[in-house]
Chain A
Amino acid sequence: MAAPGGFSGTDFKTEETVFLGFTRTQLVAFLVMVAFIVVSPFFLYPVFLMKVLCFALFACAFNLLIGYVGLLSFGHAAYFGMGGYLAGHAAKVWGFTPEIAVLIGGAVGALLGLLIGWLAIRRQGIYFAMITLAFAQMVYFFCVQAPFTGGEDGIQSIPRGNLFGMIPLSADITMYWLTAAVFLIGFLFIHRVIHSPFGMVMKSIRENEPRATSLGYRTDDYKLMAFVLSAALSGVAGGLKSIVFGIATLTDVFWTMSGEVVLMSLVGGLGTIFGPVVGAAVIITMQNYLAEFGAWVTVIQGIIFVLCVLAFRRGIVGEIGNWLRVRL
């Protein structure tokens, strides 16, 4: 399952790391990304950018699992959606401040990930994908019936509240800076995890699980840990989205959402650090412009899926990296 068939980004000759575990090219790419995040609200609509950042964090969390452990979860909507519901409920009904609400979203994602991951890691490959999808559908049915989710209406008019009880977030630009900060912290955290000794074991499981086992690693523990981290960050992304848009609905727990996050990572480049961010930006932009065409969005997403799998498996960032002969 190695090189051309695997989901990893191509590994080139290891470059020296210069700062925070980034190689020189990665550092340049990171600075470009930060510069874009800082400058963009002055010429693009902040609400649109916040949507991109929420989904970028979600896609990065998903990519941690598929790109670095080789586990394809087809049910990440469960953690994203439940994180969103609980954060919304915490902010609206319990009256928590937004930062606590988002953390609650992350905690819910982690708990749910612990439970589902514990069951799902018993099987591999396509079975793992089917199991995670099935459990996510179970969470969806739960959300349809549970009273606190508001059924078809969802949880509406969630207040943005005051950050730390002091800074009001009602202005879009203030909310934007908070969203950007959460995204960057999440992004750097994932980057740190990938480059930690723990991350090395994750990658060794992706490359050759029996070998990792024979070297004495309890691979199931590592897989579960990675799964919980990914689910927790997805919950944070979902919680953040609820606070930003003031609404949490069934769309966010439905299987189509799980498909969308797969698509974002695939378009951007599986197993690259920056790929999911680019993929999220591309897909959200596309949805924005094509919203008026209704069901055609589904068709176009399907076509992108097919094209990516058949002809463009490295994704946008993966292709750029391959062209420059560097890891991005």
Chain B
Amino acid sequence: MDEIFGIPAPLLFGQLLLGLINGAFYALLSLGLAVIFGMLNVINFTHGAQFMLGAFVAWAMLNFLGLGYWWALLLAPIVVGLFGVLLERTMISQLYKLDHLYGLLLTFGVGLIVEGLVRNEFGSSGLPYRIPTELTGAWDLGFMFMPVYRGWVVIVALVACIATWLVIEKTKIGSYLRAATENPALVQAFGINVPRMMTLTYGAGVALAAFAGVLAAPIYSVNPQMGSNLIIIVFAVVVIGGMGSILGSVVTGFGLGIIEGLTKVFYPEASATVIFVVMAIVLLLRPAGLFGRA
């Protein structure tokens, strides 16, 4: 049990765990993108900036208001989600009748503004955010030590993904959402306020990104670029999985995280590019994406 395929077991499991953690963030972010895209037909380029804002709001709450991690986990998504609602109402909603690419350009611009403003205020170097005392330490799993916080991130991300799936598939509001994704005009004719649903959907997707940002704050250093570096990889994840199904986003997110982790063990030089290589292969064999509808 000391070596697997000639690789020391602790190294292998350590990288697998890191892969799972990255996968958790890929899953949460691609899920938010898919929900927003399904309803609004807009690919949200601000998603990375909103993820980063979640982490910064958590940091600001701790340092300016003395509100700790648990409050941040609850309040930061609400704060950033409200920013999303404002953004949708004032700007994105004006573009629904135009080519979808304008939505992409608009959200890209908003992302630049947010990232630039945060960089002006806090600089480019990372700010530390400590792991809450309840989640420090490590579990001894027999074959490796598992830091409690990392295990917590994986579990919470999974719970959040399942909860989103339950809301969309099993609740009444979820059924409205699915119906409006298929045929907004008909749903509106039944007396359901579709524009408001679109606003709320965008807000919820953004809140999910901010939630992921708070989870990430103690792991990665809180810095203005943390979102844009991640979001491009998440775009590749979305292309690989296709935005057709929620389950697909989650499976693809975690799966690619693990592939990335394994690449770090077996061929570290390729670890930064492996997801893009997978994307190229998927485009060749199944252009619509693994779970996508053509």
Contacts and interface: CB of A to CB of B under 8 A. Distances in A.
A126 B101 contact: yes
Contacts of A310: 91, 94-95, 106
B118 to A, nearest CB: 9
Interface in B200-239: 228, 232-233, 235-236, 238-239
B194 to A, nearest CB: 20
Interface in B103-119: 104-106, 108-117, 119
Contacts of A144: 272
A305 B112 CA distance: 9
Interface stretch (A50-58, A135-143, A279-287): A135-143
Interface in B87-130: 91, 94-95, 97-102, 104-106, 108-117, 119-120
Contact of A306 (B91, B277, B284): B91
B280 A119 contact: yes
A133 to B, nearest CB: 6
A125 B102 CA distance: 11
Contact of B283 (A131, A138, A305, A309): A131
A1 interface: yes
A59 B113 CA distance: 22
Interface in A122-179: 122-123, 125-127, 129-131, 133-135, 137-138, 141-142, 144-145
| Size bracket, chain A contacts | 35 or more
Interface string A291-325: 00011111101111110111001000000000000
Contacts of B95: 309-310
B109 A4 contact: no
B235 A295 contact: no
Contact of A302 (B104, B113, B239, B280): B113
Contacts of B269: 145
B98 A4 contact: yes
A96 to B, nearest CB: 29
The listed residue with most B CB atoms (<10 A of its CB), out of A122, A306, A309, is: A309
Interface residues of B, number: 43
A273 interface: no
A100 to B, nearest CB: 30
26 contacts: A4-B98, A6-B99, A7-B101, A123-B287, A126-B43, A131-B239, A134-B232, A134-B233, A134-B279, A137-B232, A138-B277, A145-B269, A259-B112, A295-B116, A295-B120, A296-B120, A297-B116, A298-B112, A299-B112, A304-B109, A305-B108, A305-B110, A306-B109, A309-B102, A310-B95, A310-B106
Given A5-B98, A310-B94, 10 more contacts: A131-B283, A133-B232, A134-B235, A134-B279, A262-B105, A296-B116, A298-B116, A305-B106, A305-B110, A306-B106
Interface of A: 1, 4-7, 72, 74, 119-120, 122-123, 125-127, 129-131, 133-135, 137-138, 141-142, 144-145, 255, 259, 262, 266, 294-299, 301-306, 308-310, 313
